[in-house]
Structure 1
Amino acid sequence: METSGRVVVGIDGSASSHAALRWAVRYADLIGGNVDAVAAWELPGMYSWSGPVVDADLDEDNARQGLVQELRDVLGTEGAASVRALLVRGNPADVLLRAAEGAEALVVGSHGRGGFARALLGSVSHRVAQHADCPVVIVRSKAS
């Protein structure tokens, strides 16, 4: 499979995903690629990049602006400008696997904002590592 130099990174608001974002940007710079920062959201009772979703009528524009602001907070305004922010409805692992099709690499944090923060590997990172068609990099934050 030919790759595009595109690096996909999962963002969920956790320190681990922020470390993954920084790693993805550095790697993309090294290979002359670009970064797609992907956040997924689901219906009530599920977890999204901002924690549990309680409103079935999620305001996608506000959520997208929140994602862009999160990228600025982590990378600074100039760094965030080089990253494409994508907010996609669906199961986070499925969303990331689809987004990474044809990518150079998929980068995720070792665990997200789910209930077992001390787990060695989160369910999303575990699933994408098993099923992605491209190399997967799992990044631990220093706070992990």
Structure 2
Amino acid sequence: MDKDVSEPRVVVGVDGSPSSYAALRWAVRYAGLVGGVVDAVAVWELPGLYGWSAPAVDMDIDEDETRQHMGQELTEVLGADEAGSVRTHVVHGNPADVLLRAAEGAEAVVLGSRGRGGFARALLGSVSQHVSQHAHCPVVIVRTEKQ
């Protein structure tokens, strides 16, 4: 990720959840107000691979196909014009750690209040909570309208 740009960077975590789409829309509006760029970060991990009891799993993840799918999702959420201005990043790793690294030097990091997993009644997802506690830039947590 290019962290040495002259304009402010707004990092947003995107995981396909309604909450992350609300965060994406917020990040684009905010970046427009501050004259910044948006780095949309999608993180994938295979949780069973960590530790000594990792099962044999096919790790053949097609990152180009995933990036293309992400681009289609951004177009559906934002429209073609706005989606074209968003820089997309598909990264393997722990979501909270990847987002914290991506947010280094950013104007802000924007996250949905809940991702794809977790409990429906939880106010914050585990990734949002971890990032909000450890980021070195402002953190914006966006809720969807009906939660």
| Structure 1 and Structure 2 fold alike (TM over 0.5) | yes
Equivalent of 1:32 in 16, 32, 35: 35
The answer for the alignment partner of 2:93 in structure 1 is 90
> Alpha-carbon deviation of 1:66?
0.9
What residue is the counterpart of 1:11 in the other structure? 14
Give the residue type in structure 2 aligned to 1:129: S
Task: Structure 2 unaligned segments of length 5 or more: list them.
Answer: 1-5, 50-56
SS in 2 for 1:65: helix
In the alignment, structure 1 residue 74 sits paired with structure 2 residue 81: no
One-letter code aligned to 2:84:
A
Shift of 1:80: 0.2
Deviation at 1:118, TM superposition (A): 2.5
- Alignment match, 1:125: 128
Q: Is the 8 A contact 2:40 2:86 kept in 1?
A: yes
Q: Report the alpha carbon displacement of residue 55 of structure 1 after superposing the two structures with TM.
A: 4.6
Query: Does residue 100 of the first structure (1) align with residue 123 of the second (2)?
Result: no
Which secondary structure does the structure 2 equivalent of 1:116 belong to?
coil
Identity %: 71
- Whole-angstrom distance in 2 between the partners of 1:130 and 1:117: 21
Q: Which residue of 2 aligns with 1:49?
A: none
Which residue is 2:142 aligned to? Answer: 139
Q: How many residues align?
A: 135
Q: Distance in 2 between matches of 1:105 and 1:44?
A: 27
Measure, in 1, the Cα distance between the counterparts of 2:48 and 2:117: 12
Taking a change above 3 Å as real, the CA distance of residues 15 and 85 of structure 1, as seen in their structure-2 partners, is same
Aligned-residue RMSD, C-alpha: 1.6
Q: Is 1:62 equivalent to 2:55 in the alignment? A: no
Normalised to the residue count of structure 1, the TM-score between the two structures is: 0.89
Report the structure number with the largest CA radius of gyration. Answer: 2
Asked whether the equivalents of residues 7 and 35 of structure 2 are also in contact (C-alpha less than 8 Å), the reply is no
- Measure how far apart 1:59 and its partner are: 1.0
TM-score normalised by L of structure 2: 0.87
Asked if structure 2 preserves the Cα contact closer than 8 Å seen for 1:38 and 1:85, the reply is yes
